[in-house]
Chains A and B, each alone.
Chain A
Amino acid sequence: MEVDQLQRSFLEYSRLLFHEGFLDGQFSQLQLLQDESNPDFVLEVVSLFFEDSERLLNDLTIALDQQNVDFKKLDAHVHQFKGSSSSIGAQRVKNVCIAFRNLCDEQNAEGCLRCLQQVKQEYLLVKTKLEALLRLEQQIVAAGGAIPMLNEFC
Chain B
Amino acid sequence: MSRARADEEEYWHSSKFRAFTFDDEDDELSQLKESKRAVNSLRDIVDDDDDDDDLERVSWSGEPVGSISWSIKETASSSTSSLEGRDSSLQKGSSSYAAFPKQVSSYSLSSLFKGRNKLPSFQSFSDALSDMGVKNYAPELRRPKAEYKDYSSDWSPKDTVRRMQRGKVCSLERFRSLQDKLVLLDEAVAGHDGNVITAVLIFLKRTLKREILFRELEVRQVALCHLIHFLKETGEQKLLLDLLRFLDRTEEVALSQYREHLNIQDVEKRREFLKGCIGLPFSAEDTSHIQDHYTLLERQIIIEAHDRHLEAAGQSEIFRKYPRKASILNMPLVTTLFYSCFYHYTEAEGTFSSPTNLKKTFKIPDKQYVLTALAARAKLRAWDDVDALFTTKNWLGYTKKKAPIGFHRVVEILQRNNAPVQVLQEYVRLVEDVETRLNLATKYKCHDVVIETYRDLKDRIQLTAYKCKVERGSAEEEKINSILNNVQIRWKN
A interacts with B:
no
- A-contacting residues of B (Cβ < 8 Å)? none
